Amino acid sequence: MALLAARLRRRPLLTSASIVVAAAGLVAYESFDGAAPALGIFRSTRAVYTFALNSVDYKFSLRDHDKKTEEYYEVLSQVHLRAAKRILRLCEANRGFYTKAGQFIASLGQFPKEYVETLRVLQDQAQAWPYRAIKQVFLEEFGRTPGDMYEEFDEKPLAAASLAQVHHAWLSENEEVAVKVQYPGLQRQFEIDISTMAFLSKCVAWLFPDYQFEWLVPEFEKNLLNFAREARRAERATANFANKKEVKIPSIFWDYTTNRVLTMQFMHGSKVDDVESMEKAGIDSKQVSRVLLEIFAEMMFCHGVVHGDPHPGNILVSHNPARGSKHNFHIVILDHGLYRELDENFRRNFCNLWKAMITSDPAEMEKSGLQLGAGEYSRFLPVILTGRTLDSKSGLGKGMSPEERTRLRDEVRKFSMGDISYFMEGLSRDFLIVLRTDGLLRSIVHKLGAPRRLRLETYARYALLGRAMHKRGKPGFREQGIVFYSRSLVEYAYLRFRLGEIHVSRENFV
């Protein structure tokens, strides 16, 4: 009888999963316009199968456990880990969009650690395509092969990522270049993957009403498959940082660039987290941390643009300093595919949030958090961004007291995956990409050995500068800093008091 009862309890969920599988197959078939539908169905079936297994696992592994007990959280951690491993296998099998989505999840510290740690391996895991496939892309884009277009073209790729791979080449005018080539058939494949993922996110909300993951899909729909757009973003970034000698962005060769092929200046250097290479070159990793944080803080708070994928493979450190630079290195920003133009209201509210966190103003923190879409979870933003609670009495950069940690741990233990999903769903798309970028930067700076307060000091300085701007920064925005300095000396003096080590001088603004 017990076995029969268990089967009957499982039947509604299994029936629902069967409906999902059939519907996903239909979505896959119709999305392919009749072109190789079997491939789309196979990919979608893998995704739905993974979804069904994870759904059953969560539903039945946790049903007999009280959420108020330690046992519940132990079992929940085990289920998280099993589910994350299934998703990892799915990403490895389907590649493309699935790999990119897995990387995105791994970069968000707001997800359970089992997901973040399991999916983190996807950051450096991608298989290259054979040269014949790359040659076909060139024939479709240019009507010529790489051998016809470049003086030299290395058939073996330098690097492979989830959506493209990069080849080393030389132009006829003896210019060394890097050639980024999108994988063949990716546009069509991307459409079916997006459709499947959007459908499954709706199914999650249907089967588990507390779980909302539809926020994840829009981040990939508009950003990643147009290399000409990426090239224009790179040129805009070049203009924005024209006065910052420590930043280098590769030049674009437009005659060799399309929506699927991007040819850019080849840049030499080591990965930004390669401390050993920096030491050999006599480069101070702490200074690299400082400049790196300044670059991305300026983008977020002043330019109103966010580079959404600053993992170490997309940032190089070169020992060749630019003339007039204060440092013996410059930082090279490579990939400009995942960008977001921040809404002006978001940019200003984000600046206000940081000012409130600097000055320990709980009312202003909550107000800014609500305006940023965090809702009832606004009180956790200081913890997420600075490592302090809303009413913390400890200094910035010093973390929380033991009492604060205990109180916070007790409150966080009440959180479910539903709470996390509602939090992420409520955030603006701008905030979501900012959190991802900030998380990746924190990881890099930590590896470089920089003190925690360096990030806080840098963000604080640029947040206050961003507040003074009537609209998002444009090339040459730094001149506004001088005016701001004359108007806001008191505010900066208080900032110095709060952070202790910021020196109020014109060098902080220009």
* Cβ–Cβ under 8 Å, residues 99 and 126: yes
Question: What gap in Å lies between CA 259 and CA 294, rounded to an integer?
Answer: 31
Report whether 172 contacts 295 (CB < 8 A).
no
Helices (H), 107-185: 113-119, 131-142, 146-149
- Residue 141, exposed/middle/buried by CB under 10 A (0-12, 13-18, 19+)? middle
Separation CA 464–CA 481 (nearest Å) = 10
The whole-angstrom separation of Cα 294 and Cα 240 is: 13
Burial of 161 (0-12, 13-18, 19+ CB in 10 A): buried
Q: Which residues contact 335 (CB under 8 A, 6 or more apart)?
A: 230, 309, 313, 314
Tokens matching residue 50 = 């993974």
List the one residue out of 116, 97, 100 whose CA is nearest residue 108: 116
**First vs last C-alpha separation in the chain:** 77
- Tokens linked to 264: 């850019």
148 carries an active-site annotation? no
Choosing from 273, 309, 430, 438, the catalytic residue is 309
What are the residue numbers of the active site? 309
